[in-house]
Structure 1
Amino acid sequence: MTQIILNAWYRGAWWLSLFYPLEWVYLRLRKLHLRRQPNPSENPIPLLVVGNITLGGTGKTPLVVALVAALKQRGLRPAIISRGYGGRIGAGPHCVTAKDKPEQVGDEPTLLAQLTRVPVVVGWDRKAGLTWLAEQGQYDLVISDDGLQHSAIKGDLEWCLIDGARGLGNGHCLPAGPLREPSTRLHQVDQVLITGELQPQVKQQLKQLLGAQDDCLLEPQLDQLKRVADDQVAAWPSVDTPLNAIAAIGHPQRFFNDLRAKGYSVAGQGFADHHQFKPQDLPHGELIMTAKDAVKCKPMAQEQNLPWLYATQRLTLPESLVTKLIQQLDLTAKR
C-alpha cells in the first residue's frame, strides 16, 4: 500500500484530487503548530541540517557519510544527531554504541555510526542531543540527519536534497502529495542538492520554482559487495547471474535500478522504509540488499549461515561544496 501511494504522488494520479481538502487541513494545522512554537535559540555549536521536503528516499545517508569523510580529511571533528526513527530511545540523548541494536536506536543511526566512526546521538529531542555534544567540547560542528521540519532547532546552514528522478512529485502536500511542507521552503534553505540523474521534467519543475541556478548534482554509485554475516568483501557475480534483491528504504526502485545499471537482471522486492524484517520476509538463498537493510538482517544471516550480500555506496562531494560549508560556518580546516 505504501508503495502504491508513493507511486501515485510522484506520477500525479488523478484520484489524489480527492485529498485536496485534507491537504488544506494539514497545512492549516501545520501553520498553527509553528505559530505556537518558540523561536529556536542560538545553537551552542555550528549546526548543518541535511534534510528534504518530500517523503521517499533522497539519498541523505550517503551524503552524510561522504560529508563526514571530507570534513575529517580536512582535520575537522564532526558529530551527528538523528531522531532515531524506528528505534525505542525516545527523547534521548543517547550516543550510539557498538552494542546497540537497530531496533533500539534505529537502522539509519546504526549504519551512520558504523560507516562514519563519529558520535551519532539519537532522540526525538534533537536540541538535547545538540546541547550534549556541545558540552563534550570535542567537536567542531554537528550534522543533523534530517530535521528540516523539526521546529525546535534551526540549522546555521540547511541543505535540502531532491531526488533527480522524481523531484517534488505532483507538487502537493500530504496527503494529496509527497511534500512535507510547501515547495516554497526551497527558497529558505542554503543549498539545494539533487541526487541521482536529473530528469528533464524535474529540471523544468525546479527551474519554474527556483529560477535559473547552477544545479549541484550528486550521483551515488554502488561500490563494494559485502557479506551480511561478517561484512567481508565479496566479488560481484557475473552479469549473467540473475539477482534477487530486497530494499526497505525510501525509494527501493532506485536500488534495483542501480543494480540493473551494472548489467544485472534483477527481481526486486521493495518494503516500507525502516521495515523490521521477519524470517518469513526473506529467502534463504542468495540475496542482495542495501547496507541499511544489512544492519537489521545481520543476526539472521549469522544464526542461519545465510549467503546474503549487501552493496555499499560511494559518493564523492565537490571540493567547492565542502569549502563553501567550512567558510559559511566560519570553521577553520586543521590541514
Structure 2
Amino acid sequence: MLYKDSGVNIPRAEKLVKFIKKINRTSKKNIGPFAAEIEIPGIIKDYKNPVLLVSTDGIGTKIDLALQWNYLDFLGYDLVGMCVNDIATAGAKPLFFLDYYAASELRLGIAKKVLKSIVNACEEAGCILVGGETAELPGLLSRDRFDVAGFVVGIQEKERIPSPERVKIGDILIGFPSSGLHSNGYSLVRKIVNKLNLSPEMKIDNATLKEVLLAPTRIYSGIMSSIFQNFEIHGAAHITGGGIPGNLKRVLNQEVCAVIDKGNWKMPSIFNKLAKWGKVPEEEMYSVFNMGIGFILIVDKSSVQELEMFLKERKEEFYIIGEITKGSGNVKLI
C-alpha cells in the first residue's frame, strides 16, 4: 500500500508549493528550507520602544458559501483582513504573515485561487508572506471541504498603543465603512440563503447576491497605521463577531459608555434584506453583523477637526457615529 492510497498525495502538494513560490511577490529571500528568516535590527531601527503585535484568525463558514457558489477568488482577503485588522487596533504595521491550509483532498484549482488571493491581500496590507503549511486530512474533514487559518506579526511604538484607561467622557467615535459582511455571521447567512433558495445571481443594487455576500473583507491596516502615527488614539475596535456592541465594549473602561447613533452612517442594503428574509430582530442583527461599520476609533474631541481633514485629504470615507458618556463599560445604540 502506498501513502497516496490513504488519500494523501505528496506530489500534488509539491506542485502547490512551487506555485506559491512562483506567485509570491512579497517575499523571496526570507523563506528558508524549514523556517522563515526575519532580521530584527532593520525592523526596529526606527522605533524607540518597539512592541510586537500578534494575531491569528480564520474565515469561518464564509468558506462554505464560497464553495457552494464557486466564488473563491477573494477568500485570501478575508483571511489576511481578519488578522491584520486586529493588530490595526494598535495601529501596528504588519510585518509578516503565515497561513495554514487544510483540505480533505488537495484540489489544486481551489487551493491556487485561495493562496493567490492571500498573496494579493498581503501585498495590499504591506506585509510579507513568509511561509505556511498545507495539509491533506482525509477522514478528518468532509469531502471537498477545506479550512484556512492565518497568523500575522506587526510592530508598533509602545506609547502609541491605546488602552481602555485613555477613553474618557467627551471622546468622539469615528466609524469606517465595511465592504460588506466581512467574515462574520455566515452560519446565519447560509441558513437564510438555503432556506429561501436564494439565487447567487439575484440582483442587489448594482451587483449580484454572490458578489455582495462574498465581497472581500476590507483591509484597514494601511490607513490605521498612518492615523496612529499622526494622532493620539484613545481606543480602536475591529468590528467582527459580536457586532458593534460586542467589540466596542472590549476597549472601554468601567466608567464610560459608548453611545452610538445608528442613523449616522449609510448602511448597505444587504443588512436590511437579510433581516427581512430571515426575520432577524434588529438587536440580533447588531450583535451578529458589522452593519456597515468595520472599524471604530475613539479620539479626543479636540482632535476631530484635524483628523477629519487628514482623512478627507486621503479620500477616506468615515462617519462621526457617537460619543463617550458616563457609564459602566457599556455600549448603547440609539
Structure 2-normalised TM-score?
0.25
Larger radius of gyration: 2
